[in-house]
Amino acid sequence: MTEFPNWFAVTAQTNFEAQLMGLRNKENLRLCQIGTFTGDASLWLLKSLELGNGSLLDDVDTWRGSDEEAHDVMDFAEVERVYDAKVSPFAKKVRKFKMTSRRFFEGYALTDYDFIYIDGDHTAQGVLEDAIDAHRHLKVGGILAFDDYAWRSGKGDLYDPAPAINTFGTIYQEFYEVLAINAQVWLRKIK
């Protein structure tokens, strides 16, 4: 098996620990992750939260990578195999969707997620579309988290998550309270 970077441990795990441990052992949780890569965040959610009866994680990824420089040298068939191996012990708690987030939200998403993590398409347009779709599927009291707030593509604002996250935050501010802003942005839906 090939070694891949664990970006989750570097930029996200601290926020997951700070914001999500209150969900531990709860029954009938609905979690969604847009962009899963090798499944490091999935594994953390499944193991650390010890998902209770009826809980479910929806993982959405194309497993084709993107035009980011770090992805140019990766074998995404192997990335997907690594993901499959990591989540296989939790098969009854995970639904894998190998597709775009747009297709997922149009036909497969549940309507009452407790947590949605956006870490897929990093372009401003892609992040904004995912955020709006996630808002429609997140229940009041649910948490919406964005990865890579501080990440820059080097190609300009249209290729970075931050402008979309800021735009969403401005337009939807009456619906959310801010939980954290650092390398990521974490919000709780209040209405």
Per-residue pLDDT, averaged over 107-131, amounts to 96
Give the chain's domain count.
Answer: 1
CATH number at residue 129: 3.40.50.150
Q: What is the pTM of this model?
A: 0.95
Residue 49 has pLDDT above 80, yes or no: yes
HSE at residue 117, side-chain half, CA atoms within 13 A, is 29
Per-residue pLDDT, averaged over 20-47, amounts to 97
Nearest residue to 168 (alpha-carbon basis) of 134, 119, 120, 137: 134
Question: What's the domain range around 106?
Answer: 7-189
- Cβ neighbours of residue 85 under 8 Å, at least 6 residues apart? 1
pLDDT at 66: 72
Residue 2, in any domain of the structure: no
Nearest residue to 151 (alpha-carbon basis) of 54, 58, 35, 49: 35
